[in-house]
Amino acid sequence: MSSSIGENLRLTIFGQSHSPAVGMTLEGIPAGFTIDMEALGRFLARRAPGRNAWSTPRKEADAPEFLSGLVGDTTCGAPLSAIIRNTNTRSGDYELLKTVPRPGHADYTAEIKYGGHQDAAGGGHFSGRLTAPLCAAGGICLQYLEKHGIRIRARILSIGTVTDPAPFTESVAEKEFPAAGDAAGEEMKAAIARARAEGDSVGGIVECVAEGLPAGLGDPMFGGMENRISAIVFGIPAVKGIEFGDGFEAARRTGSENNDAYTAEDGAIHTLTNHAGGILGGITSGMPLVFRAAFKPTPSIAKTQRSVNLETGEDTELSVPGRHDPCIVPRAVPVIEAAAALAVTDALLGRRKEAEP
Amino acid sequence: MSSSIGENLRLTIFGQSHSPAVGMTLEGIPAGFTIDMEALGRFLARRAPGRNAWSTPRKEADAPEFLSGLVGDTTCGAPLSAIIRNTNTRSGDYELLKTVPRPGHADYTAEIKYGGHQDAAGGGHFSGRLTAPLCAAGGICLQYLEKHGIRIRARILSIGTVTDPAPFTESVAEKEFPAAGDAAGEEMKAAIARARAEGDSVGGIVECVAEGLPAGLGDPMFGGMENRISAIVFGIPAVKGIEFGDGFEAARRTGSENNDAYTAEDGAIHTLTNHAGGILGGITSGMPLVFRAAFKPTPSIAKTQRSVNLETGEDTELSVPGRHDPCIVPRAVPVIEAAAALAVTDALLGRRKEAEP
Amino acid sequence: MSSSIGENLRLTIFGQSHSPAVGMTLEGIPAGFTIDMEALGRFLARRAPGRNAWSTPRKEADAPEFLSGLVGDTTCGAPLSAIIRNTNTRSGDYELLKTVPRPGHADYTAEIKYGGHQDAAGGGHFSGRLTAPLCAAGGICLQYLEKHGIRIRARILSIGTVTDPAPFTESVAEKEFPAAGDAAGEEMKAAIARARAEGDSVGGIVECVAEGLPAGLGDPMFGGMENRISAIVFGIPAVKGIEFGDGFEAARRTGSENNDAYTAEDGAIHTLTNHAGGILGGITSGMPLVFRAAFKPTPSIAKTQRSVNLETGEDTELSVPGRHDPCIVPRAVPVIEAAAALAVTDALLGRRKEAEP
Amino acid sequence: MSSSIGENLRLTIFGQSHSPAVGMTLEGIPAGFTIDMEALGRFLARRAPGRNAWSTPRKEADAPEFLSGLVGDTTCGAPLSAIIRNTNTRSGDYELLKTVPRPGHADYTAEIKYGGHQDAAGGGHFSGRLTAPLCAAGGICLQYLEKHGIRIRARILSIGTVTDPAPFTESVAEKEFPAAGDAAGEEMKAAIARARAEGDSVGGIVECVAEGLPAGLGDPMFGGMENRISAIVFGIPAVKGIEFGDGFEAARRTGSENNDAYTAEDGAIHTLTNHAGGILGGITSGMPLVFRAAFKPTPSIAKTQRSVNLETGEDTELSVPGRHDPCIVPRAVPVIEAAAALAVTDALLGRRKEAEP
DSSP B199-225: T--B-EEEEEEEESPPTT-S-SGGGSH
Taking the C-alpha atoms of residue B201 and residue B300, their distance in angstroms, rounded to an integer, is 8
Mean pLDDT across the stretch C290-309?
A: 95
| The pLDDT value given to residue A319 | 85
Question: Measured between CB atoms, which of D28, D77, D357 is closest to A30?
Answer: D357
**pLDDT at position A49, please?**
75
Stretch (H or E) spanning D193: helix D182-197
Fold of D4-352: Chorismate synthase, AroC fold (3.60.150)
Using a CB-CB distance cutoff of 8 angstroms, which residues of chain D are in contact with residue B70?
19, 119
The mean of the pLDDT values for chain C is: 92
Q: Do A357 and D30 touch (CB under 8 A)?
A: yes
Per-residue confidence at C357, pLDDT binned at 50, 70, 90?
Answer: low
CA separation for the pair D94, D100 (Å, rounded): 10
CB pairs under 8 A between B and C: 48
Under DSSP, is residue D330 helix (H, G, I), strand (E, B) or coil?
helix
The pLDDT of residue C62: 73
> Does residue C93 surpass a pLDDT of 60?
no
Compute the C-alpha angle B17/B21/B22, nearest 5°: 70
Q: State the number of CA atoms in the 13 A half-sphere of C38 facing the CB.
A: 0
pLDDT-derived band at D98, boundaries 50, 70, 90? confident
Q: What phi, psi does C197 have (nearest 5°)?
A: -60, -30
Q: Which residues of B touch C350 (CB under 8 A)?
A: 353
Report which secondary-structure segment, H or E, holds C75: strand C74-75
Does pLDDT of C58 surpass 60?
A: no
Which of B259, B292, B303, B316 to substitute to test the interface with A, most A CBs within 10 Å?
B259
D55 — pLDDT class (breaks 50, 70, 90): low
Task: Report d(CA B212, CA A351) in Å as an integer.
Answer: 42
Please tell me whether residue A5 adopts helix, strand or coil conformation.
strand
pLDDT digits (tens, 9 = 90+) for B169-215: 988 988 999 999 999 999 999 999 999 999 999 999 999 999 999 99
A127-140 mean pLDDT? 96
Q: Select from C4, C26, C67 the residue whose CB has the most chain A CBs within 10 Å, as the one to mutate to test that interface.
A: C67
**Residue D93: pLDDT band with limits 50, 70, 90:** low
Give residue B25's region: left, alpha or beta (phi > 0; psi -120 to 50): beta
What pairs with residue A24 in β-bridges?
A13, A82
Instruction: Tell me how far apart the alpha carbons of residues A204 and C316 are, in angstroms, rounded to a whole number.
Output: 66
Average of per-residue pLDDT across C326-336: 96
Q: CA nearest C189: which of C160, C210, C214?
A: C160
Name the burial class of residue D312, with classes exposed (0-12), middle (13-18) and buried (19+) by CB atoms within 10 angstroms of its CB: exposed
Share of chain D above pLDDT 70, in %: 92
Residue B138 has what pLDDT? Answer: 98
- pLDDT band, very low/low/confident/very high, at A267 (cuts 50, 70, 90): confident
Task: Supply the mean pLDDT for chain B.
Answer: 92
CB nearest to D25's CB, from B25, B68, B76: B25
Query: How far is B180 from C155, CA to CA, in rounded Å?
Result: 68
**Which of the residue ranges A52-56, B136-140, D54-58 would you say has the lowest mean pLDDT?**
D54-58
Of the candidates A62, A239, A43, the residue with the CA atom closest to the CA atom of residue A144: A43
**Inter-chain CB pairs, B–D, below 8 Å:** 170
Separation between Cα atoms, residue A295 and residue A239, nearest integer Å: 4
Nearest-Cα distance to chain B for A30, in Å, is 20
Instruction: Give Cβ neighbours of residue B287 (< 8 Å, ≥ 6 apart).
Output: B260, B270, B271, B274, B276, B277, B278
pLDDT tens digits for range C168-183:
998 898 899 999 999 9
Pick from D5, D2, D8: nearest CA to D345: D8
Backbone angles phi, psi at A163, to 5 degrees: -110, 140
**Among C111, C107, C349, which Cα is nearest to C228's?**
C349
pLDDT, greater one: C90 or C338 = C338
Residue type, C12: T
CA atoms in the 13 A half-sphere facing the CB of B333 = 27
Q: Work out whether strand A262-265 and strand A268-271 pair parallel, antiparallel, or are unpaired.
A: antiparallel
Q: Is C189 helix (H, G, I), strand (E, B) or coil?
A: helix
D356 → closest Cβ in A30, A77, A78: A30
For residue C312, the one-letter residue type is T
Phi (first) and psi of residue C55, to 5 degrees: -125, 180
| Mean predicted confidence (pLDDT) in A40-47 | 94
pLDDT band at C352 (very low <50, low <70, confident <90, very high): low
What is the average per-residue pLDDT within C267-287?
Answer: 96
Of B71, B110, B115, the CB nearest to D32: B115
Q: What φ, ψ does residue A20 adopt, rounded to 5°?
A: -55, -35
Q: For chain D, how big is the Rg over CA atoms in Å?
A: 21
- Strands of A86-170, DSSP E: 151-159, 162-163
Q: How confident is residue C88, by pLDDT bands cut at 50, 70 and 90?
A: low
**pLDDT tens digit sequence for D274-317:** 999 999 999 999 999 999 999 999 999 999 999 999 999 999 99
**Average pLDDT for A41-45:** 94
Which residue, among B260, B257, B225, has the nearest Cα to B244 in the 3D structure?
B225
Residues of B with CB below 8 A from C357's CB? 29-33, 75, 144, 147
Summarize the confidence of residues D33-51 as an average pLDDT. Answer: 90
- Summarize pLDDT for B242-278 with one digit per residue, the tens: 999 999 999 999 999 999 999 998 889 999 999 999 9
Cα distance between residue C324 and residue D186, in whole Å: 49
Strand partners, A65: A83
State percent of chain C over pLDDT 70.
92
Query: If residue A268 lies in a helix (H) or strand (E), which one and from where to where?
Result: strand A268-271
Q: Using an 8 Å Cβ cutoff, are C2 and D217 in contact?
A: no
Instruction: Kindly tell me if the per-residue pLDDT of B222 is higher than 80.
Output: yes
Does the pLDDT value for residue C356 go beyond 90? no
- Tens digit of pLDDT for each residue in B66-108? 999 999 999 999 999 999 999 855 556 566 778 999 999 999 9
Q: What are the tens digits of pLDDT across the range A173-205?
A: 889 999 999 999 999 999 999 999 999 999 999
The residues that bridge with C24 in the sheet, in sequence order, are C13, C82
Strands A162-163 and A204-211 come out as unpaired
Q: Does the CA dihedral C344-C349-C352-C353 come out positive or negative?
A: negative
Specify the length of chain B in residues.
357
Domain boundaries, chain D: 4-352
Residue C355 has pLDDT above 90, yes or no: no
Element (DSSP H or E) covering residue A145? helix A131-147
